[in-house]
Structure formats: C-alpha cells, structure tokens
C-alpha cells in the first residue's frame, strides 16, 4: 500500500516480517507444493529466516507435501488421515507422550 499507516498495519501481522532474534518453541511447518493460496516458497522463506535468526537449537521440522494436495492438505481420505497422524504424532511427542 502507498499509505504508510496501512503498510505498517499490514506488516504488523506478517509472520515472516515479525520473526525476531529470540528463542522459539519446537515447530512443525507444513506446506503443499500445489497449494494455490500459499505458494510453497513462502513457508520455505519463513523456515530459512527462522533458522537464520532464532537463538535456540530447538526442533524445526519443515514438511513439504509433493503429492497432489492443495491449501487444505491431501484430498484423499487415507492421505488426509496420514497427514493428521503426522500432525498428532508431532503434538503428542511435544507433550512427552512417546508410546
């Protein structure tokens, strides 16, 4: 935007532009190669910047789905369940539940 106050408002909620030199929790970042809403290079840039500036060495997993999948993830029933299982496995592991 051409108006400074509108630009500052928009950048205030930009995930990429708000990455700071600080510690972050363990993270899982997912994208789909065929996502029409968030192009695959956007989360790629986010993860690269996060790895460059964060001050900790906690887990940062970047998962790119190269199979046919869109903004909502995989469209097949079983593929969607596999994606959900991966997400739940990450969450449960972070909670200390490993079995």
Query: pTM of the predicted model, to two decimals?
Result: 0.82
Kindly list the domain boundaries of the chain, sorted by start residue: 20-94
73, two tokens:
């993830």
| pLDDT tens-digit readout, 8-46 | 999 999 999 999 999 999 999 999 888 878 888 899 999
74, two tokens:
């995989």
> Does the pLDDT of residue 70 top 80, yes or no?
no
> Does the pLDDT of residue 69 top 70, yes or no?
no
The DSSP result for 4-54, as a single string, is HHHHHHHHHT-TTTT--SS----EEEEEETT-SSS-THHHHHHHHHHHHH-
């Amino acid at each position: 935007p051409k108006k400074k106050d509108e630009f500052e408002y928009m950048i205030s909620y930009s995930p990429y532009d708000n990455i700071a030199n600080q510690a972050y929790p363990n993270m899982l970042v997912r994208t789909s190669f065929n996502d029409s809403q968030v192009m695959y290079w956007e989360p790629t840039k986010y993860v690269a910047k996060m790895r460059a500036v964060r001050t900790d060495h906690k887990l940062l997993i970047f998962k790119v789905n190269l199979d046919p999948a869109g903004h909502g993830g995989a469209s097949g029933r079983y593929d969607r369940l596999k994606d959900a299982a991966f997400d739940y496995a990450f969450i449960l592991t972070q909670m200390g539940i490993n079995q």
